[in-house]
Chains A and B, each alone.
Chain A
Amino acid sequence: MKNFLRILPIIILIIGFSTKLNSAEKVEYLKTNWSFKGPFGKFDRGALQRGYQVYTEVCASCHSMKYLSYRNLAEKGGPEFSEAQAKAIAASFEVKDGPNADGEMFTRPGKLSDKFVMPYDNVKAAQAANGGAYPPDMSVLVKARGGGVDYIYSLLQGYEDPPSGVTLDDGVYYNKYMYGNKIKMPNQLSDGLVEYADGTKATVEQMSKDVTTFLMWSAEPHLESRHQMGFKAIVYLIILTILVYFSMKRIWSRIETEV
C-alpha cells in the first residue's frame, strides 16, 4: 500500500493531465435534468409521448427508426400509449406488404407488429434526397454518439451563425456542438413548431428534451427494468456478502489465522 501511495501521484497526474487535455478539445454540452439518470431513473411518460410526437412530425420525414415497432409504443417502460392509441398510430401509416396471391405488392394500413415505416426505400434514396448526406437511423443514435443524450440535446439547440472566417458550402450549416462544427442537417426546431396534445409549451428547449428522451428510450427500451433489477440484484448481493462474511469469520475462528 505504501508503494501504491508512492505511485498514486503519478496516476493522479495522468488523470488530471488527460481531463485537462480533453476539456480543452471538447465543448461543454448543455445540461438538463434527465429523469432516467441514476439508479432509480425512470422515463418521464409525458416526455416520451411528446418526444414521439416531435419525432413523427419533424424527424421522421428524413430519419428512420428501423428497430422500433408500433407495438413498442404501448409496451411497459416506454411511452405507454394505450393499445388503442398505438393501433391508431400504426393504422395512420401505409405499409407496403405482399406479394399477395396474384404476386402483386400492395399497401395496407399499419399494424402493431409492423416496424416503423421508413422515410426512404434505401440508403441511396435517402442520400439522393439529402444532398449526399445520409440521415442516420435514430433507433440507437443516442448510444452511437460519444456525448449521448447531452450531445443530441445540445446539437438540436446548437445552431448558430458561423463565426467570421468560416465559410460554409451550400447545404452545410454551422452547429457549435457538431464534430467539426459543420452539419448537413438544417436547424429543424423553432418555438411552437408542434402543438403538444397535453398543452405543454413547445419551446425549442422543451422539444429537444422530449425528443432526446424518446431517443434514449428507443436506444434502451429496457432501461427501466434494468434499473429496477439492478437495484434488487445489488441489494441481494450486498446482503449475501455480509452473511458470507460472518460465516467466513466464524469458520476461520477455528484456526488462529486472521482472514
Chain B
Amino acid sequence: MSEHEYIPKSKFGKWFNDRLPLLTLANHLTDYPTPKNLNYWWTFGGILTFCLITQIVTGLVLAMHYIAHADMAFDSVEHIMRDVNYGWLIRYIHANGASMFFLAVYIHIFRSLFYGSYKAPREIIWIIGIIIYLLMMAAAFLGYVLPWGQMSFWGATVITNLFSAIPLVGEGIVTWLWGGYSVDNPTLTRFFTLHYLIPFLILGLVVLHIWALHVPGNNNPVGIDIQKPSKDTVPFHPYIVIKDGFALLMFMIVFAFFVFYTPNILGHADNYIEANPLVTPAHIVPEWYLLPFYAILRSVPDKLLGVVAMLSAILILAALPWLDTSKIRSAVFRPLYRQFYWILVADVLILGYVGAMPAEGLYLLIARVATAYYFIHFLVILPILGFKEKTIPVPLSITDPVLGGSPNLALAKKNKFEN
C-alpha cells in the first residue's frame, strides 16, 4: 500500500472519496510501487486478466445463442458458426481463448516456480492461485462438454466416472452428478449452469489474488525483499502498464494467428461429430492442457489410486511453500535448484506427451517414471535441497550492487530466466 494519504484535488472528489474511497483505490493502483527489474515473465498476470475478461465477454455472447439441450446443443453451435453475425469469430476466440488462457497460466505458474514467488510472505497469493487454476480446469472441462460432440460426451463420461472410484458412495455421486444413469440432458444443463458460474468465481478470486499481492508487493527476479517505494521500484503506471501492454499485444498476435488461421488445430476432429452414446471414439483424449494429469491418472493401475495421484499432483502445489525449505527465493542464486527446475519442466512436457498417446507398452512405462519423478521432485528433492544446496550470495538491493560494485547483480542479469 502506498504510504502517503491520498487527498483528491476537486471538492466533489473529496466529498465522494470520504464516503467511498474509490479514488484512493485508483491512486493506489496507479502509484503501486513495482520492482523495476521485473522481466517479461512477469507480464503474464496482466495477460491472464485479459484472457479471463475475453472468455467472459465472448462467453456471454455465445450463451445468448447457445441452447443447452442434448438434441439441440450441437445444432445451436453450428447455428452460431454459420448464421450468427461474426458468430464464428466469437466462438473461435472463446475456444482458442481457453487454450491461450492455459498457455499463459502455465507460464505464470512456472515463473513462480523459478523465482520462488510462492515463498513467504506470498503463500496466500500462491494458494489462491492454485484454487483459481483448479477452477479454470473445471470451467474448461465443463465448457468442452457444451458443444455436445463425441469428445464432449465421452470426455464427460470418463471424467465423471472417476468419482465412481470413491469407495461406498462413488456410484451414488456419479448418478447425482449426471442427474440420471448416464451422461444426458440433465448433465448438459447443469454443466452449462456451472460453466457460466465458475468464471465469476474466478473473477472474485482474481480480485483476492491481486489484493493479496498488493500487501507484500511483487516478487522480482533477484528474489529479495525491497524497500517500497524506493530506488528499486517504479510506479505501476505508466511503467508497468505500458510494459504489460506491449507483452499483451505480442500475446494477442499469437492468439490472433490461432483464431484466424488454425482455429481447430488445438481441438479434436471427433468433436465435430454429434454426441452418440452408442459409438465410443477410438481414443478419448482431453484437451492438451489437461494431458499431464491425464497421464498421471492412467499411469496408476488402480482406479482409486489413479484419481488420488492425479488430484495430489495438483494439490501438492498448494503445499509447495512449506515443501521448499530453501530461504533463497530466486533460482538465479540456487545453482542446483535451477537444474532440477528444468528437469521438472521436461518431466511435465513428457507427461503431456504420453498423456496424448495410448496407455500401453513403452508409453505407459515412460508415464510411470515421469509420474514418479514428478512426486519425487516435490516430496524429496525440494525439501532436501533447501538444506544441502550451496547458494550464491544474494545482493542487498536491486540498485545498490550497481552503485556499490557487488558482482552479484551482474550475475543476476546474466542468469535471467530468458537471456
Pairwise interchain contact B264-A3, C-beta atoms closer than 8 A: no
Cα A257 to Cα B82 in complex, Å, equals: 51
CB contact under 8 A between A39 and B261, given known A140-B78, A233-B256: yes
Kindly identify which residue among B89, B338, B349 contacts A11, using a CB–CB cutoff of 8 Å: B349
Closest B residue to A230 by beta carbon equals B260
In the complex, chain B residues 328-349 whose Cβ is within 8 Å of any chain A Cβ:
338-339, 341-343, 345-346, 349
Cα A18 to Cα B238 in complex, Å, equals: 46
How many residue pairs, one in A and one in B, have C-beta atoms under 8 Å apart?
103
Cα A11 to Cα B263 in complex, Å, equals: 25
Cα A28 to Cα B417 in complex, Å, equals: 41
Chain B, interface size category, equals 35 or more
The secondary structure that dominates the A interface is helix
Kindly identify which residue among B242, B273, B341 contacts A251, using a CB–CB cutoff of 8 Å: B242
Of A4, A144, A247, the most chain B CB neighbours within 10 A belong to A144
Kindly identify which residue among A4, A14, A229, A248 contacts B243, using a CB–CB cutoff of 8 Å: A248
Pairwise interchain contact B260-A226, C-beta atoms closer than 8 A: yes
B177 within 8 A of A: no
Pairwise interchain contact B260-A227, C-beta atoms closer than 8 A: yes
Cα A226 to Cα B92 in complex, Å, equals: 10
Kindly identify which residue among A7, A67, A233, A241 contacts B246, using a CB–CB cutoff of 8 Å: A241
A255 within 8 A of B: yes
Kindly identify which residue among A140, A227, A234 contacts B256, using a CB–CB cutoff of 8 Å: A234
Cα A7 to Cα B357 in complex, Å, equals: 21
Pairwise interchain contact A139-B246, C-beta atoms closer than 8 A: no
Chain A, interface size category, equals 35 or more
B236 within 8 A of A: no
Contacts of A145 in B (CB 8 A): 269
Cα A231 to Cα B259 in complex, Å, equals: 11
In the complex, chain A residues 172-203 whose Cβ is within 8 Å of any chain B Cβ:
179
In the complex, chain B residues 68-102 whose Cβ is within 8 Å of any chain A Cβ:
75, 78, 81-82, 88-89, 92
Pairwise interchain contact B37-A257, C-beta atoms closer than 8 A: yes
Closest B residue to A68 by beta carbon equals B82
In the complex, chain A residues 219-234 whose Cβ is within 8 Å of any chain B Cβ:
219-222, 226-227, 229-231, 233-234
Pairwise interchain contact B346-A237, C-beta atoms closer than 8 A: no
Nearest chain A CB to B372's CB is how many angstroms away?
17
Cα A257 to Cα B35 in complex, Å, equals: 11
Pairwise interchain contact B272-A140, C-beta atoms closer than 8 A: yes
Pairwise interchain contact A259-B249, C-beta atoms closer than 8 A: no
Cα A240 to Cα B252 in complex, Å, equals: 11
Pairwise interchain contact A237-B243, C-beta atoms closer than 8 A: no
B12 within 8 A of A: no
For the complex with contacts A1-B419, A241-B249, 11 further pairs of A-B residues with Cβ separation under 8 Å are A1-B417, A3-B338, A11-B349, A221-B82, A226-B260, A227-B261, A230-B259, A230-B260, A231-B260, A241-B250, A244-B246
Name 6 interchain pairs, CB-CB below 8 A, sorted by A: A6-B342, A139-B78, A230-B259, A248-B242, A248-B243, A255-B239
The 9 closest A-B pairs by CB, nearest first: A230-B260, A144-B272, A241-B249, A143-B272, A3-B342, A7-B346, A248-B242, A257-B36, A140-B272
